[in-house]
Amino acid sequence: MLHPEPHPLEVAVLTRRFRLPNSASIQTYLAHDGYQAFRKALEMSPDGIIEEVKKSNLRGRGGAGFPTGLKWSFVPRQSPKPKYIVANADEGEPGTCKDRLLMQYDPHALIEGMLIAARAVGARAGYIYVRGEYRYLIEILDGAIEQARERGFLGRNILGSGMDFDLYTHSGAGSYECGEESALLESLEGKRGVPRLRPPFPATAGAFGCPTVLNNVETFCAVPPIVLRGGAAFAALGTPRNGGTRLFAISGHVRRPGVYELPMGFNLLRMINEVAGGVREGRKLKAVIPGGSSCPVLRAEECDLAMDFDSVARAGSMLGSGGVIVMDQTTCMVRVAARILRFYAQESCGFCVPCREGTAWLAKILARFHGGEGRAEDIGLIADIAHNILGRTFCPLGDAAAMPAAAFVEKFREEFEAHLGGKACPFEEVAAHV
Amino acid sequence: MRFSAQVESKLERLLASCPPGRKRAALVPMLLFIQDEVGAVTPEVVEEVSRRLEVTPAEIEEVASYYSMLRRRPAGRYHIQICTNISCLLMGGAELFEHACRKLGIGNHGVSEDGLFSLEEVECIGACCWAPALQVNYDFHHAVTPEAFDRLIEQLRQSSAAERRE
Amino acid sequence: MSELVKLTIDGQVVEVEPGTLVIEAAKRAGIKIPSFCYYEGLSLAGACRMCLVEVEKAPKLQTACTLAAVPGMVVRTNTPRVAEARKAMVEFLLTNHPLDCPVCDKGGECELQDMAFTYGAAESRYREAKYHVPERQWSPVVYYDKPRCILCYRCVRVCEEGMGVGALGVINRGGRSEIAPNKADGLECDECGACIDICPVGALTSGTYRYHTRPWEMRHVGAICAHCADGCKTTLGVYHDQIIRGNNRDRSGLNGEFLCIKGRYAADFVHHAERLTSPLVRREGRLAPASWAEALGVIQARFEEVRRRGGRFGVIGSNHTTNEENYYLQKLARQGLGTNNIDHHRTGDVPALMAAIGGRPGAAARMEDLYQAAAVLVVGSDAAQQHPLISWQIRANWRHHQGRVFVVTRGPVREDRYAVRVVRAEPGGELEAVFGLREELAGERDLVVVFGDAIQGENVARLVGFGDSLGIPVKYVCLVDYSNSRGAADMGLLPDLKPGYQPAEEAGISLEEMLEPGAVDVLWVVGANPLKNARRAPDGAFVLVQEMFLTETAQAADVVLPAASAYEKSGTVTNVCGEVQGIEPAVSCAGAKTDLEIFGLLAYRLGLELGEAAPEAVWREIAASVPGYDLPRAEILAGAAPQVRPIAGARASRRGKAASAGDTLFTSGTLGRYCGILGAVAEAPGALYRG
């Protein structure tokens, strides 16, 4: 799954141990700074740790991009309730396959990141919520946890510090919505993956109603380097307010699809043309989804773009999970839109009206449209339905469906029009199956 | 209802990971681990889990019906899950799925007559950079061409036959 | 005392308590924000999104039902953006919703219809196939039609939270989500129908009402439920002189929107095929139809004969007749027939409580007190089965006010789930168990004690003495079984007590004693079934029975007079808390007469001057002469349910004992046997305690 060598343009911070032999073992980990950051954190004050994370400008790597240090600071200092650290390893966003590599090749980095978070907020137990399909990674993580426990990094009185911390993996069973933090917590508690009313937020009432730090796998993995080398150093690798590096999963019509660690703010066109080897078979770039299917699509001419949260947001899309999906000139955008909406309709938890009814409606219209039975008014209707969902749902899944739908009809309107009048899909060499 | 020593030990560790008084937290993984062995979440399984976790069968039904990996009827020995979401779609995932249907002679959610294979069109499984991808039970297979798929099926048939001979 | 929060809604300044939801604050300002899933008294959902409003400084629209008012908040509910959002939500709901209005029970009282008319989207842009699954029947009472369901989750929440049953859940996900019952083949629940009444659309419909009629074709009459003593108001829907349904959707009465299966559906006894419509007189050993004149003539002759020779009368009154009827009957017996041999099937020792709390104001709990008290102690009663409104109040108290519940019962009861202390006590040991809670109870701010027939006689005084010793305000409820059991006691249907628990000069004999061989020469039974197990009348006695059905007692009678039901007469009834409510006829009673009318006819025949046998006239006398009952009639008619006043000089009864019938949700004494719906749902014989 890894290319034999990292790309020269990569900056290896989170991925620096990936290609070491037995990279997942604790011996390898310890031989390469493993648990040094945690030892350092034990000497720091909890507030000091949070300060360092704030300085790093680390923002959530799951998709929302919320400043991590700030999130940790919301956990009350004192609480009669136990506190928890939860890692979101649900990785369901289409186009995203980076956390998988972190857990496969460097599981101890996740453990260490969670340990440091535990130290920072005073948590005594943690869960790694892993999507059900990633069974082999649960096994790897369980092995790493066992190793860590044997070496005294988990359990009671860790390294004689007086700190206790227990860590467990917890399997999902097939639900994209369980990647949403409050729905994840519901699933962790043995319920349907339906999100919660917020406030309160997980920081004050999370797992089992207790204060909880909940972050993406990659976010936790970034914490040890931040603590070890300082937040400022991490921040400097990126752009202002968008610190550090991140893992980009580049997929689709490129010569060298793969997961690459690049500095925040790296140019998208360079990413595609230099890092990922350019569009396959010398074809023309047509469109790119920059951060997983929830992000509005960019036309080729919009791709000269710095890949950080703020720049992509200004361009009308999102950095999201860093899942860069590249589409060349052979791609039928209507088919892509239809397939993406089908996904959201399938994954909608069904709790709230606009998402439940709206995603199903969009999926049906788009499927009909790609099948050649579209009407001219459907194009405006799609945009209108998307507008009616946007900002009105119980959780962001509604937006995740509405924004792509709106973007496809807005930016590729001519392609939708080309499907009208009972014509067969102009991109015939790709099957009509949606 | 008792399960194999391996599964019972897994369930024990799972229960131990729940905070005191919070057995219900084990529900989702428990259903999945039991399904791995029994083949499906049957009424009997629901009753057993209800007993162990002190959760009503009705509450278990609410949960079991929500998650797409939990099923009420057994799949084939080799449950083939082919992703046709965006990254795999771009790399021929939909065509691969259609090929699989033809090759196995079954449709989505179908089970082959000999019970060896079942097929499911799934959403993103997290293998986007190695598309088109599929899972056979929990094992990932990447960059699967129709030819590679046919070879995979052959291998699975042979290893199943070999196991039967042993 | 925290300061009120000032916020502005549509330009109006509103002041509310901290924590008030914007949707409630708007209500105070007279601004209606639409909602499906938000329902007062139930937990918050935020699912339907109808209540989205503009809040200054918030970029997205916010749900008014989940947003607490904060000082300085500026809310706008009447902007184009809000109008667009509302229309969009209605449109979304109508995409898969079937156009069933022509055949759907809810048509005319459907909230989705109302929303579509008010907020738009009556014309659909949806051109795709609708997701359809067939309707299901979950029980004799409950039908579920998933295509109509808007998944507002009111039913799930009212069942779990309001009723404490939790028989409904949600299965599947996305557009395939459905409400599901708790058993594979349907519902195992109280069959109360709360889910049906709370459903804003026609997704949940009732087996008894469906396809009968339209809401605007019915005459709606407020009634007090004819079954248990809780005194719930039920609004009967009457169509062509038939009671088609009962509900309390307007949330009036002591019960708010609560009703159990009896209040909603068990009015079917009124139209039972076996209702007596003609007097019956025994000739040659068999009962045969007779005219009123003939029947009354037979009675007159026999009564006069017994009076002449100084024979003894025994009168057994009803747990179901009105206060007016009870008062008139005891007056007829005492003044007219010169006897104190009056009793009724006592189901709780109310006189003992009245004597113990005497003229003390505020010692008798009102139904509302069960909801407001800091602590409630339940002794010897499975309230969820026998007093479901009381159970509802206690549960709501726990949910909304963190009310502290104490339980002393023989077996598990629903209240166990909410209790801070549960004590299992053997029969006879309940009082000692209560005494054991002294320390904990004394620490409460105030207390309501609810006790059943397990505490009677002297033990009631001891219980009240215990309450006094706690040093906190204590109120009491003495549980009795039926719709006017309390009124029967209040009006002196007792051998040694006159109305208002004043001692009778010479005590008569009790119900049990009347049934002894030779004890009486005339046994007059009104709306009761004392011979249910005996089947034989006391030897030689002339038995007169006023009844709705040919019960065991009626079968042993010499004369049977057909009586009207509670839904066919006027008058007042008093609930278990002493709250007095008025009733009026909902339907006519073919062939039967009200018990009061019958008393009047008999009084006339016997030449007795007892005053006009009409409800208003009798009430005037009651209000003037019965201790505790000087209550303004206007308040009663307005539904304010004034409570019987404290009664000075009340005495306990020294003859006869109390014994609850131990009914369940699906039984209701003799009356319940004629309710087809109760028979249909009863899945197990009535057990006193249900786990």
Cα of C23 to nearest chain A Cα, Å: 16
Residues 167-226 of A with CB under 8 A from B: 168, 170-176, 187-193, 208
pLDDT at C538 over 90: no
Fold of A334-433: de novo design (two linked rop proteins) (1.20.1440)
Beta bridge partners of C12: C9
Tell me which chains share at least 3 CB pairs under 8 Å with chain B.
A, C
User: What percentage of chain A reaches a pLDDT higher than 70?
Assistant: 98
Residue C185: predicted pLDDT: 87
Task: Tell me, yes or no, if C47 comes closer than 8 A to chain A by beta carbon.
Answer: yes
pLDDT at C295 over 50: yes
Residue A431: predicted pLDDT: 45
Backbone angles phi, psi at A254, to 5 degrees: -120, 160
C158: which DSSP letter? I
CA distance from start to end of chain B = 28
User: Pick from A18, A221, A216: which is nearest to A104 by CA?
Assistant: A18
Cα of B131 to nearest chain C Cα, Å: 27
Residue found by looking up tokens 């959530």 in the block: A60
Name the pairing type of β-strands C447-451 and C474-478. parallel
Question: Which of B32, B89, B142 lies nearest to residue A339, judging by beta carbons?
Answer: B89
Are the Cβ atoms of A381 and C125 closer than 8 angstroms? Answer: yes
Are the Cβ atoms of A1 and B130 closer than 8 angstroms? Answer: yes
CATH number for region B78-165: 3.40.30.10
Convert A163-183 to b/e letters by CB count within 10 Å (16 or more is b): bebbbbbbbbbbbbbbbbbbb
In chain C, how long is the greatest CA-to-CA distance? 93
Question: Which of B55, B69, B87 lies nearest to residue A95, judging by beta carbons?
Answer: B87
**Strand ranges for C527-579 from DSSP E:** 542-547, 559-562, 571-574
Angle between helices A376-389 and A397-411 (to 10 degrees): 150
| Cα–Cα distance measured from residue A22 to residue A104, given in angstroms and rounded to the nearest whole number | 10
Q: Kindly state the average pLDDT of the residues C137-157.
A: 96
Beta bridge partners of B120: B81
Residue C687: predicted pLDDT: 31
Residue A31: partners with Cβ closer than 8 Å, 6 or more residues away:
none
pLDDT at A135 over 80: yes
Secondary structure tally for chain B: helices H, strands E: 7, 4
Domain covering B5-64: architecture: Orthogonal Bundle (1.10)
Q: Which amino acid is at C516?
A: E
Task: Tell me, yes or no, if C66 comes closer than 8 A to chain A by beta carbon.
Answer: yes
Confidence of residue C691 (pLDDT cuts 50, 70, 90): very low
Q: Which residues of B touch C172 (CB under 8 A)?
A: 65-66
Question: Which of B43, B56, B61 lies nearest to residue C180, judging by beta carbons?
Answer: B61
Task: Tell me, yes or no, if A350 comes closer than 8 A to chain C by beta carbon.
Answer: yes
In this structure, chain B runs to a length of: 166
Please report the sign of the dihedral spanned by the C-alpha atoms of residue C76, residue C78, residue C79, residue C80: positive
Q: Which residues of B touch A91 (CB under 8 A)?
A: 126
Q: pLDDT digit string (tens) for C21-62?
A: 999 999 999 999 999 999 999 999 999 999 999 999 999 999
Task: Tell me, yes or no, if B66 comes closer than 8 A to chain C by beta carbon.
Answer: yes
Q: Say if residue A77 is exposed, middle or buried (CB neighbours under 10 Å; 0-12, 13-18, 19+).
A: exposed
Task: Tell me, yes or no, if B54 comes closer than 8 A to chain C by beta carbon.
Answer: no
User: Pick from C516, C476, C409, C513: which is nearest to C643 by CA?
Assistant: C476
| Cα–Cα distance measured from residue A46 to residue B9, given in angstroms and rounded to the nearest whole number | 37
CATH number for region A245-328: 3.10.20.600
Q: Which residues of B touch A275 (CB under 8 A)?
A: none
Q: pLDDT digit string (tens) for A79-105?
A: 999 999 999 999 999 999 999 999 999
Task: Tell me, yes or no, if B36 comes closer than 8 A to chain C by beta carbon.
Answer: no
Question: Which of C167, C171, C184 lies nearest to residue B62, judging by beta carbons?
Answer: C171
Q: pLDDT digit string (tens) for C550-609?
A: 999 999 999 999 999 999 999 999 999 999 999 999 999 989 999 999 999 999 999 999
Q: What is the mean pLDDT of chain C?
A: 95
Question: Which of B67, B94, B127 lies nearest to residue A173, judging by beta carbons?
Answer: B67
Q: pLDDT digit string (tens) for A312-343?
A: 999 999 999 999 999 999 999 999 999 999 99
Cα of C182 to nearest chain B Cα, Å: 5
Confidence of residue C429 (pLDDT cuts 50, 70, 90): very high
Question: Which of A95, A192, A325 lies nearest to residue B62, judging by beta carbons?
Answer: A192
Mutation target to probe the B interface, by most B beta carbons within 10 A, among C146, C171, C187, C189 is C171
CA dihedral A369, A374, A379, A383 (to 10 degrees): -50
Are the Cβ atoms of C169 and B66 closer than 8 angstroms? Answer: no
Cα of C401 to nearest chain A Cα, Å: 20
| Cα–Cα distance measured from residue C590 to residue C567, given in angstroms and rounded to the nearest whole number | 13
| Cα–Cα distance measured from residue A122 to residue A108, given in angstroms and rounded to the nearest whole number | 20
Confidence of residue C120 (pLDDT cuts 50, 70, 90): confident
Are the Cβ atoms of B69 and A82 closer than 8 angstroms? Answer: no
The residue in chain B having the minimum alpha-carbon distance to the alpha carbon of residue C181 is B58
Backbone dihedral region for residue C662 (phi beyond 0: left; psi -120 to 50: alpha; all else: beta): left
Question: Which of A97, A208, A293 lies nearest to residue B86, judging by beta carbons?
Answer: A293
Cα of A52 to nearest chain B Cα, Å: 31
Q: Is A433 helix (H, G, I), strand (E, B) or coil?
A: coil
Backbone angles phi, psi at C460, to 5 degrees: -70, -45
Q: Which residues of C touch B61 (CB under 8 A)?
A: 169, 171, 180
Residues 45-104 of A with CB under 8 A from B: 82, 91-97, 99-100
Residue C533: predicted pLDDT: 82
Are the Cβ atoms of B86 and A340 closer than 8 angstroms? Answer: yes
Residue A428: predicted pLDDT: 64
Residue A432: predicted pLDDT: 46
Confidence of residue C684 (pLDDT cuts 50, 70, 90): very low
Backbone angles phi, psi at C368, to 5 degrees: -65, -30
Question: Which of A177, A360, A394 lies nearest to residue C47, judging by beta carbons?
Answer: A394
Task: Tell me, yes or no, if B65 comes closer than 8 A to chain C by beta carbon.
Answer: yes
Question: Which of C172, C181, C182 lies nearest to residue B65, judging by beta carbons?
Answer: C172
Residue A423: predicted pLDDT: 79
Question: Which of B28, B87, B129 lies nearest to residue A187, judging by beta carbons?
Answer: B28
Q: Is A258 helix (H, G, I), strand (E, B) or coil?
A: strand
**Strand ranges for C260-348 from DSSP E:** 280-283, 286-289, 313-317, 342-344
User: Pick from A208, C261, C34: which is nearest to B19 by CA?
Assistant: A208
pLDDT at C537 over 80: no
Question: CATH number of A26-236: 3.40.50.620, 3.30.499.10, 3.40.50.11540, 4.10.910.10?
Answer: 3.40.50.11540
Q: How many CB atoms lie within 10 A of CB C530?
A: 22
Q: Kindly state the average pLDDT of the residues B27-37.
A: 98
Are the Cβ atoms of B98 and A431 closer than 8 angstroms? Answer: yes
The residue in chain C having the minimum alpha-carbon distance to the alpha carbon of residue B56 is C182
pLDDT at C475 over 70: yes
Cα of B65 to nearest chain C Cα, Å: 5
C110: which DSSP letter? -
Are the C-beta atoms of residues A154 and A167 closer than 8 Å to each other?
Answer: yes
| Cα–Cα distance measured from residue C304 to residue B110, given in angstroms and rounded to the nearest whole number | 88
The residue in chain B having the minimum alpha-carbon distance to the alpha carbon of residue C167 is B58
Which is more confident, C139 or C684? C139
Domain residue ranges of chain A, discontinuous segments joined by +: 26-236, 245-328, 334-433
User: Pick from A332, A378, A382, A333: which is nearest to A362 by CA?
Assistant: A382
Question: Which of B56, B65, B66 lies nearest to residue C182, judging by beta carbons?
Answer: B56
pLDDT at C519 over 70: yes
CA dihedral A242, A243, A246, A250 (to 10 degrees): 30
| Cα–Cα distance measured from residue A390 to residue C162, given in angstroms and rounded to the nearest whole number | 34
Domain residue ranges of chain B, discontinuous segments joined by +: 5-64, 78-165
Q: What is the mean pLDDT of chain B?
A: 97
Mutation target to probe the A interface, by most A beta carbons within 10 A, among B11, B18, B28 is B28
Q: Kindly state the average pLDDT of the residues B62-84.
A: 97
Q: Kindly state the average pLDDT of the residues A142-147.
A: 98
Are the Cβ atoms of B86 and A187 closer than 8 angstroms? Answer: no
Assigned token pair, C12: 């109006």
Please report the sign of the dihedral spanned by the C-alpha atoms of residue C286, residue C292, residue C294, residue C297: positive
Task: Tell me, yes or no, if C133 comes closer than 8 A to chain B by beta carbon.
Answer: no
Backbone dihedral region for residue C49 (phi beyond 0: left; psi -120 to 50: alpha; all else: beta): left
Cα of B60 to nearest chain A Cα, Å: 9
pLDDT at C119 over 60: yes
Residue A429: predicted pLDDT: 54
Mutation target to probe the A interface, by most A beta carbons within 10 A, among C173, C176, C201 is C173
Are the Cβ atoms of C88 and A388 closer than 8 angstroms? Answer: yes
The alpha carbon of residue C272 and the mean position of all alpha carbons in its chain are separated, in whole angstroms, by: 21
Peptide bond into B132 cis (omega under 30): yes
Residue found by looking up tokens 């399997």 in the block: A171
Cα of A386 to nearest chain C Cα, Å: 11
Q: Which residues of C touch A177 (CB under 8 A)?
A: 173
Does the ipTM surpass 0.85?
yes
Beta bridge partners of C424: C409
Task: Tell me, yes or no, if B43 comes closer than 8 A to chain C by beta carbon.
Answer: yes
Are the Cβ atoms of A343 and B98 closer than 8 angstroms? Answer: no
Residue C252: predicted pLDDT: 87
| Cα–Cα distance measured from residue A328 to residue A286, given in angstroms and rounded to the nearest whole number | 5
